[in-house]
Amino acid sequence: MTEIFTTKKLEQLIKKRIDNRTQTVENIFGKWNASVLYIARKKCLIFVNSKSFYSVIIPRFSTTELDKIHLLFLENFYAQLDFEKIKTDAEFLVDNIGELKFYSTDNDKKMTGIINYNISKIEYLKYEYEIFNSSVIRELTEKLNLTPFKQLNWSLPKEIMNDIIEKASV
């Protein structure tokens, strides 16, 4: 099971998926934080991993797809890892992600700051592109994952995620 803590904005969007009580179940990826953002007037969801600050974006999200959010997350996570040439297989991800449990915000200021930074960076970078399809979204997300953070001792989220997957695959 994977815990995903939502921002207030996302919580209002997916009210019926929010669980009240938290069960702290640790998996190799740890918890994720999620928010909603708009790219070219399209609703997207951004997920950021708390251990690695690795970002995954679900483009063109609609509330009608709420029942398939688990599959959408897995597909986009795998596609982002593949795009960034991080070797893993889909079975490994399915086994280690498990079921997604959404909770209201955990008030983690560090993660809220990282999400807000990523959203503002996307706002800045989006002017380099004329069209927004899924490959452009992958490219934007890769740029987020190639941003070093002081909290990671100036490591890249991509490198940390690669290390997490390699250690668990052995």
Residue 48: domain span: 2-169
pLDDT of 132 reads 85
Q: What is the CATH number of the domain that holds 59?
A: 3.30.420
Q: What is the pLDDT of residues 93-117, one digit of tens each?
A: 999 998 899 999 989 999 999 999 9
pLDDT at 23 over 70: no
What share of the chain in percent tops pLDDT 90? 72
pLDDT of 160 reads 96
The answer to whether 134 and 42 have CB atoms below 8 angstroms apart is no
Question: What is the pTM (predicted TM-score) of this model?
Answer: 0.94
| Count of domains for the chain | 1
- Element at 45 (helix H, strand E): strand 42-49
pLDDT at 17 over 90: no
Residue 162's nearest CA partner among 45, 70, 51 is 51
pLDDT of 22 reads 64
pLDDT of 59 reads 93
Residue 37: helix, strand or coil by DSSP? Answer: strand
pLDDT of 26 reads 77
* pLDDT band with cut points at 50, 70 and 90 for residue 88: very high
